[in-house]
Chain A
Amino acid sequence: GNSVTQMEGPVTLSEEAFLTINCTYTATGYPSLFWYVQYPGEGLQLLLKATKADDKGSNKGFEATYRKETTSFHLEKGSVQVSDSAVYFCALGTTGTASKLTFGTGTRLQVTL
């Protein structure tokens, strides 16, 4: 079945540091890939997505590239801010209009001054 594996957290970085959160997946077919973010006290929000191989999703300075050859979708940001502190979830969605979303366990990011 489909599954998503994320790097363990928490990840603690100083402001302006480079961020990478690793995500790999197992899936049949050609899934879409997503990064969701959950800020403290808030619901899950879509951060970025990619729907086919070699696509790059980007938003708010975050980027992730859909790598079919390595089944990966690593999240990166060149310079993190304190406001980026949150839990980040990698997810994959099956193809079609009734997509089934499978989530990773989440990675908590703490950014300090």
Chain B
Amino acid sequence: EAGVAQSPRYKIIEKRQSVAFWCNPISGHATLYWYQQILGQGPKLLIQFQNNGVVDDSQLPKDRFSAERLKGVDSTLKIQPAKLEDSAVYLCASSPPRQNTEAFFGQGTRLTVV
């Protein structure tokens, strides 16, 4: 079974530029998550999709971050404009439509804003 795919693996941008990350979840997984992991901290949920609907985006900085999941499969997360404090690893995860199941994580995208 293929895992969660993310791209790019690494990205360096200047502040005020824009950036986009892509995620392809495991086939059949209805739930998709985007997490932000700042160095030395645990992952923080940014947004959660169930199919192509948003379940929770309460911690997404909506003035600069946006995310979509077209057709309930792939997802993109965008930051525009980026700030220095956005430097982090952005993790995508997915989980199947089962009770009390775990999430499966991709390798992440390491973003450095300079």
B98 touches A103 (CB 8 A): no
B56 touches A43 (CB 8 A): no
**Interface bin, chain A:** 20 to 34
- On chain B, the residues within 8 Å of A14 by CB distance are none
Known A95-B99, A97-B30; contact A102-B45, beta-carbon cutoff 8 A: yes
Q: How far is the CA of A46 from the CA of B33 in the complex (A)?
A: 15
Known A93-B102, A100-B48; contact A43-B107, beta-carbon cutoff 8 A: yes
**Is A89 on the interface with B (CB-CB < 8 A)?**
yes
Known A43-B106, A44-B105, A100-B56; contact A93-B100, beta-carbon cutoff 8 A: yes
- On chain A, the residues within 8 Å of B95 by CB distance are 99
**Is A42 on the interface with B (CB-CB < 8 A)?**
yes
A98 touches B102 (CB 8 A): no
Q: How far is the CA of A29 from the CA of B108 in the complex (A)?
A: 31
CB distance from A57 to the nearest CB of B (A): 11
CB distance from A59 to the nearest CB of B (A): 12
Across the A-B interface, the 4 shortest Cβ-Cβ residue pairs: A103-B42, A44-B105, A32-B100, A51-B100
